[in-house]
């Protein structure tokens, strides 16, 4: 059977990983500055994470949510302590899209309203409501089309206020990433997030903080929205939560009541996923990884700013973007194929860095040194091509 050909795969077969490194089927080592797309939070195959999952596997991997599964409460307690959001309620599911789907649905249940506000360059996932709130027509099927979502310009306080003034009483929720990831590492300004909070308060709409990519400590705070000192009504989380084990969740403010059966999923909150998620939080806490991400991120960004070829170095913690000029547009491919470093990208010319929060100073330096070599190689190649012509 063929795999459904939807992914722009590089012709590289990854079969093993440890910490900040992955290896292909020929044993070639790659430095993972992409974290498998912001998923690897504590490092690939972290021994504590492996042990927790193995121990849980021997006890019980799964039972349905028709009964209490005590490890869910253990996870909720730990998450409350590490995130500082102890008074919130936790709903567990399996992916970022599912978390956003449920958050949007819950907001509609809660307010009795239909309208969603989302922003330019947003990415919220590929399920029907999540994709409808995503600013990328290429992934919207006819069945997902809805006029219930309004797209406003990101970071534009005036446009937000104007829209609320005209439509506020119809809006169920505003959904916003604290730092846009897929859209190209754009930080939501403090004024913008504070204005969303204020407008939502005024019109009784819910503030949904999509923290699937920018959350879980990656930004140097547990939730990047915390930089603006605002509390969202709902936080959605996924990627870094399981360090590669599929697990996602929604934090729901105490003022939003639950009704039996309003949200549900078969696999959400299964003991194996909870064990993985618990291990991640234990390591984050023990190794002070949120502060580490902040420090390492500042170090990387300061060094990247010294590269004359790169521009718009931006980000928070270990969620970093920079732009490459036209003559270096093959840089990302060169990094992967010639220098064995994985990074992310965003169109048209951004390279994204989303490594494990446990990236060491030595690994950061390895990246920076290799980047220097790769840039020089691409420049030399360009010169060669010109002289051949």
**Residues that bind ligand PMP in the complex, under the rule CB under 6 A:** 95-97, 100, 123-125, 177, 181-182, 210, 212-213, 238
**Would you call 10 helix, strand, or coil by DSSP?**
coil
CB of 112 to ligand PMP, least distance (A): 25
Contact (CB, 8 A) for 322 and 311: yes
| Helix (H) or strand (E) run with residue 314 in it | strand 311-316
115 vs 124, which CB is nearer to ligand PMP? 124
C-alpha to C-alpha distances, 191 to 81, 158, 199, 207, 386, nearest whole angstrom:
28, 11, 12, 15, 48
| C-beta of 83 vs 213, nearer to ligand PMP | 213
Q: Give the number of other Cβ atoms within 10 Å of residue 337's Cβ.
A: 13
To the nearest whole angstrom, how small is the minimum distance from the Cβ of residue 189 to ligand PMP? 17
CB of 209 or CB of 335, closer to ligand PMP:
209
Q: Which residues have a Cβ under 8 Å from the Cβ of 4 and sit 6 or more positions away?
A: none
| Beta carbon nearer to ligand PMP, 22 or 129 | 129
Closest distance of CB 278 from ligand PMP, Å: 19
Nearer to ligand PMP, 113 or 186 (CB): 186
**Tokens standing for 7?**
């992914």
Q: How far is the CB of 224 from ligand PMP (least distance, A)?
A: 11
- In the bound state with ligand PMP, the residue whose beta carbon lies nearer, of 40 and 182, is 182
Is the Cβ of residue 22 or residue 241 nearer to ligand PMP in the bound state?
241
- Looking at the DSSP bridge assignments, the partners of residue 342 are 32
The two tokens of residue 192 are: 């913008």
Min separation Cβ 28 and ligand PMP, Å: 27
| Residue of this chain nearest to ligand PMP (CB atom) | 96
The least CB distance from residue 238 to ligand PMP, in Å, is 5
* Nearest distance, CB of residue 125 and ligand PMP, angstroms: 4
Complex with ligand PMP: residue 210 or 323, whichever CB lies closer: 210
Task: Report the distance separating Cα 99 and Cα 208, nearest Å.
Answer: 11
Comparison of 101 and 323: residue with beta carbon closer to ligand PMP: 101
Structure tokens at 377: 């190689």
User: In whole angstroms, what is the distance from residue 254 CA to residue 82 CA?
Assistant: 18
Closest approach of ligand PMP to the CB of residue 206, in Å: 17
Q: Is 352 left (phi over 0), alpha (psi -120 to 50) or beta?
A: beta
How far apart are alpha carbons 47 and 241 in whole angstroms?
16
Q: How many CA atoms lie within 13 A of 364 on its CB side?
A: 22
Distance CA 300, CA 320 (A): 9
Report CA-CA distances (Å) from 144 to 111, 122, 163, 197, 276.
22, 16, 23, 28, 33
Q: How far is the CB of 99 from ligand PMP (least distance, A)?
A: 7
Specify the 3-state DSSP secondary structure of 140: coil
Q: Least distance from C-beta 182 to ligand PMP, angstroms?
A: 5
Report strand pairing: 206-210 vs 171-177.
parallel
Residues 243 and 276: beta-carbon distance below 8 Å: yes
The tokens describing 280, both together, are 């991640």
User: Is the CB of 152 or the CB of 241 nearer to ligand PMP?
Assistant: 241
């Amino acid at each position: 059977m063929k795999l459904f050909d939807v992914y722009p795969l590089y012709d590289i077969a990854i079969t093993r990983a440890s910490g900040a490194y992955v290896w292909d089927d020929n044993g070639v080592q790659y430095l993972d500055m992409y974290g498998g797309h912001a998923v690897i939070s504590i490092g690939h195959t972290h021994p504590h994470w492996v042990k927790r999952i193995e121990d849980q596997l021997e006890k019980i991997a799964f039972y349905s949510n028709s009964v209490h599964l005590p490890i869910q409460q253990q996870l909720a307690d730990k998450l409350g302590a590490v995130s500082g959001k102890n008074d919130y309620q936790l709903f567990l599911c399996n992916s970022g899209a599912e978390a956003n789907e449920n958050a949007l649905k819950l907001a509609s249940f809660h307010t009795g309203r239909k309208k969603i506000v989302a922003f330019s360059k947003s990415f919220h996932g590929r399920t029907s409501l999540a994709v409808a709130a995503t600013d990328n027509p290429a992934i919207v099927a006819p069945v997902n089309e809805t006029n219930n979502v309004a797209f406003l310009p990101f970071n534009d306080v005036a446009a937000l206020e104007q829209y609320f003034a005209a439509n506020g009483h119809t809006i169920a929720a505003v959904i916003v990433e604290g730092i846009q990831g897929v859209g190209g590492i754009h930080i939501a300004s403090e004024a913008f997030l504070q204005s969303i909070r204020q407008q939502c308060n005024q019109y009784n709409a819910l503030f949904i903080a999509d923290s699937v990519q920018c959350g879980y400590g990656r930004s140097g705070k547990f939730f990047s929205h915390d930089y603006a000192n605002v509390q969202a009504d709902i936080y959605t989380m996924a990627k870094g939560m399981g360090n590669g084990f599929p697990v996602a969740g929604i934090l729901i403010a105490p003022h939003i009541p639950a009704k039996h059966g309003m949200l549900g999923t078969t696999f959400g909150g299964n003991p194996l996923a909870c064990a993985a998620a618990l291990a991640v939080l234990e390591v984050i806490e023990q190794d002070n990884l949120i502060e580490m991400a902040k420090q390492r991120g500042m170090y990387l960004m300061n060094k990247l700013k010294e590269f004359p070829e790169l521009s718009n170095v931006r980000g928070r913690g270990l969620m970093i973007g920079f732009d490459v000029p036209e003559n270096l547009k093959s840089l990302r491919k060169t990094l992967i194929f010639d220098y064995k470093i994985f990074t992310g990208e965003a169109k048209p010319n951004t390279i994204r860095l989303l490594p494990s929060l446990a990236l060491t100073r030595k690994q950061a330096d390895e990246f920076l040194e290799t980047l220097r070599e790769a840039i020089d190689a691409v420049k030399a190649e360009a010169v060669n091509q010109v002289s051949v012509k």
